[in-house]
Chain A
Amino acid sequence: MDKKLEPIVKAVQNKFGATFEEFRGEAHLFVKPEQIVDALTLLRDEQNFELLSALTAVDYFPQEAPRFHVVYQLTSLAKNLSVQLRVPVNGSSPKVPTAAGVFASANWRERELLDMFGIEFDGHPDPRRLLMPDETEGHPLRKDFPLGYEEPQFTFNFDDIDLRKPYAKE
């Protein structure tokens, strides 16, 4: 880990009691859902992490508690450092406070997560699906959502399969 990152990690650990992991020089800090807005504000205002590079989630299905990790990848342009915050969330009604008030880029990213993982962001200004159509059922990037495939049609079952194929018919 970069020497310059150590005091920043210490600061977050002291304030939020965050656990810390390191892998290939990257710092990952684990905070609780209710702390995330404060942690992001602290990093932005006091430590110059002005760019929220990525906001994504990981699904650890079938593990239920925690089932998801919401991942916030922050970049400091001034100090040329990166730090990652992770928020573990449980599988039943996953909810995290919105970061859209801290970083405007979180707005769309959180809509994407709502769409793809069904993670709700409390207080989000515009909680609609972003990529999938509004009437979609389920959340595609969850591990229990099937990838989907097309049944191969052979001469003997061509018509059977054709009947239930989901393409537009006359």
Chain B
Amino acid sequence: MAQLEEVSIEQFKHLVSERALTGETMLLNMGPQHPSTHGVLRLLLELDGEIVVNCIPDVGFLHTGIEKNMEAKTYQKAEVMTDRLDYMNPMGNNLAYVMAVEKLVDVDVPVRAQALRVILVELQRIASHLVWLGTSGLDLAAMSMFLYCFREREQILDIFELVSGQRMMTTYIRPGGVWRDVPVEFEQAVRDFIKIFPKRIDEYESLLTKNPLFIDRMVDIGYLSKETALSYGVTGPVLRASGVDWDLRKARPYSGYDQYEFNVPTRTEGDTYARYLVRIQEMRESLKIVEQAMNKLPMGPVRSDNRKFVPPPRSEIGVSMEALIHHFKLWTEGFPAPKASIYSAVESPRGELGVFLEGDGGPKPLRVHMRTPSFDNLAVLTQIVKGHLVADLVAILASIDIVLGDIDR
């Protein structure tokens, strides 16, 4: 363990203004253990009274070496690491990684599996936005929001438990399809959710959207221009709230998103309130997608029958020698992937979740890089908090919806 050294201003000299060196402005640590930083994020603030002059994010407290660990595992086994990246969006991470593997080795996915993936990923998006809504409400002293949001989120997590046996670390979506078909109770559980949720969103909105206190705290706070957003690589709802109509589900439809009708909500204001409105609207759109996918859910297999990449069903292993060999080979050695690299991206609740995957001809990836949306979305924070109050910083940080597991990997 390193000895704790006294921190001197010398270390931050190149980051802060001249005024901090003379003591005119104050340097203040916010975090790493602070309830409003949504995880272990340290912000070094330079304050003039209560006004933020500069904000220097310090990340890495949650760095767990996920990319390095994935390189040491076979393609199937590395998938469990992806759940732990953005722990508010495990299904979406599974999908991003699995789609990258499928693209690299070229496996087709049956239509039923694609529809199931869409349903689960959209439910996950709603669950993730609910956590955002609950916690950002909490940050702005709307405590009841937190309880309401987590009530609905629990219902979604119950659906995940039903299909995968896990509430959060699901690993349900697998290369070539999904783990196994959904149980019969699934349909009713999702239908129940579809039925109650629109009313619940109305409830949230009646509490917040026109609440004068809430509007005072949100409107014209943390303005992010279109140009800055693009230069900083900001994606997702934050980019759409700055007036850029870019959603990978629409722009480059994957997993059958082109069959569903939905809108991509955008705003042009670019402030904290616009980001709030975009996400609320996104929950409604996600629900529309879930409903359409449930209505159209085709019957059929949920896993590709390409035995070189996808394990055979249990029923075959007992009767077929080839199935047994395939099963054994796939779980001991894994499947080989070509010596090439691909980049594949999906729209996560936070933005573009990209996976850069390079194979070396063997069963383990040579390099896995997760292009995580929170990383770039946080980098822009310095630009948008300048000149605001510390209390506004909390609102802005909540509105960009970062997940530290996603940033530090």
The chain A residues found within 8 Å of chain B, CB to CB, are 23-24, 26, 28, 50-54, 56, 58-60, 71, 73, 75, 77, 80, 82, 84, 103-105, 107-109, 126, 129-133, 135, 140-141, 145, 147, 166, 168
Whether B379 pairs with A108 at a CB distance below 8 angstroms is yes
* CB-based closest 5 A-B pairs: A105-B233, A131-B60, A54-B371, A56-B369, A104-B231
Q: Judge whether B254 is part of the interface by a CB distance below 8 angstroms.
A: no
Nearest neighbor of B56 in chain A, beta-carbon distance? A126
Number of A-B residue pairs having CB atoms within 8 Å of each other in the complex: 98
What is the CA–CA distance of A28 and B233 in the complex, to the nearest angstrom?
20
Whether B252 pairs with A80 at a CB distance below 8 angstroms is yes
Whether A141 pairs with B67 at a CB distance below 8 angstroms is yes
What is the CA–CA distance of A145 and B352 in the complex, to the nearest angstrom?
30
Chain A neighbourhood of B67, CB < 8 A = 141
What is the CA–CA distance of A147 and B70 in the complex, to the nearest angstrom?
10
Whether A147 pairs with B343 at a CB distance below 8 angstroms is no
| Of the residues B343, B345, B408, contact of A84 by C-beta under 8 Å | B343
Whole-angstrom distance from the CB of B42 to the nearest CB of chain A?
12
What is the CA–CA distance of A7 and B121 in the complex, to the nearest angstrom?
36
Chief secondary structure at chain B's binding surface: mixed
Which has the most chain A C-beta neighbours within 10 Å: B251, B252, B341?
B341
What is the CA–CA distance of A91 and B188 in the complex, to the nearest angstrom?
58
| Of the residues A23, A71, A145, contact of B340 by C-beta under 8 Å | A23
Q: Judge whether B375 is part of the interface by a CB distance below 8 angstroms.
A: yes
Whole-angstrom distance from the CB of B278 to the nearest CB of chain A?
17
What is the CA–CA distance of A98 and B106 in the complex, to the nearest angstrom?
35
Whether A126 pairs with B15 at a CB distance below 8 angstroms is yes
Whether B251 pairs with A58 at a CB distance below 8 angstroms is no
Known: A73-B354, A108-B379, A130-B60. A51 touches B65 (CB 8 A): no
Chain B neighbourhood of A53, CB < 8 A = 233, 343, 345, 352, 354, 371
Nearest neighbor of A52 in chain B, beta-carbon distance? B233
- How would residues 352 to 370 of chain B score, 1 for a CB under 8 Å from any chain A CB and 0 otherwise? 1010101000000011010
What is the CA–CA distance of A52 and B191 in the complex, to the nearest angstrom?
40
What is the CA–CA distance of A109 and B354 in the complex, to the nearest angstrom?
14
Chain A neighbourhood of B65, CB < 8 A = 140, 147
Whether B60 pairs with A50 at a CB distance below 8 angstroms is no
Chain A neighbourhood of B366, CB < 8 A = 58, 60
Known: A54-B354, A73-B354, A147-B72. A105 touches B343 (CB 8 A): no
6 CB-based A-B contacts, threshold 8 Å:
A24-B340, A53-B371, A60-B366, A80-B251, A103-B233, A131-B408
Whether A73 pairs with B233 at a CB distance below 8 angstroms is no
Nearest neighbor of B375 in chain A, beta-carbon distance? A108
Chain A neighbourhood of B15, CB < 8 A = 126
Q: Judge whether B103 is part of the interface by a CB distance below 8 angstroms.
A: yes
Q: Judge whether B199 is part of the interface by a CB distance below 8 angstroms.
A: no
Whole-angstrom distance from the CB of B228 to the nearest CB of chain A?
8
Interface size class of B (residues with CB under 8 A): 35 or more
Chain A neighbourhood of B68, CB < 8 A = 140-141, 145, 147
Known: A141-B67, A147-B69. A51 touches B233 (CB 8 A): yes
Whether B356 pairs with A71 at a CB distance below 8 angstroms is yes
Whether B246 pairs with A24 at a CB distance below 8 angstroms is no
Nearest neighbor of B227 in chain A, beta-carbon distance? A50
Q: 12 more A-B contacts (CB under 8 A) besides A108-B376, A131-B63? A: A24-B103, A53-B354, A54-B356, A54-B371, A56-B371, A71-B369, A105-B232, A109-B375, A131-B408, A132-B60, A145-B68, A147-B65
Nearest neighbor of A82 in chain B, beta-carbon distance? B343
What is the CA–CA distance of A53 and B59 in the complex, to the nearest angstrom?
20
Chain B neighbourhood of A133, CB < 8 A = 2, 60
Nearest neighbor of A77 in chain B, beta-carbon distance? B246
Chain A neighbourhood of B103, CB < 8 A = 24
Chain B neighbourhood of A58, CB < 8 A = 341, 358, 366-367
CB-contacts of B336-390 with A (<8 A): 340-343, 345, 352, 354, 356, 358, 366-367, 369, 371, 375-376, 379-380
| Of the residues A23, A82, A132, A147, contact of B63 by C-beta under 8 Å | A132
Whole-angstrom distance from the CB of B38 to the nearest CB of chain A?
18
Whether B342 pairs with A24 at a CB distance below 8 angstroms is yes
Known: A131-B408, A168-B1. A104 touches B367 (CB 8 A): no
Q: Judge whether B244 is part of the interface by a CB distance below 8 angstroms.
A: yes
Whole-angstrom distance from the CB of B49 to the nearest CB of chain A?
26
Chain B neighbourhood of A147, CB < 8 A = 65, 68-69, 72
What is the CA–CA distance of A55 and B376 in the complex, to the nearest angstrom?
11
Whether A73 pairs with B371 at a CB distance below 8 angstroms is yes
Whole-angstrom distance from the CB of A108 to the nearest CB of chain B?
5
- How would residues 1 to 29 of chain B score, 1 for a CB under 8 Å from any chain A CB and 0 otherwise? 11000000000001100000000000000
Whole-angstrom distance from the CB of A133 to the nearest CB of chain B?
7
Whether A59 pairs with B367 at a CB distance below 8 angstroms is yes
Whether A23 pairs with B342 at a CB distance below 8 angstroms is yes
Chain A neighbourhood of B232, CB < 8 A = 104-105
Whether A56 pairs with B69 at a CB distance below 8 angstroms is no
Whole-angstrom distance from the CB of A143 to the nearest CB of chain B?
8
Whether A105 pairs with B356 at a CB distance below 8 angstroms is no
Whether A105 pairs with B231 at a CB distance below 8 angstroms is yes
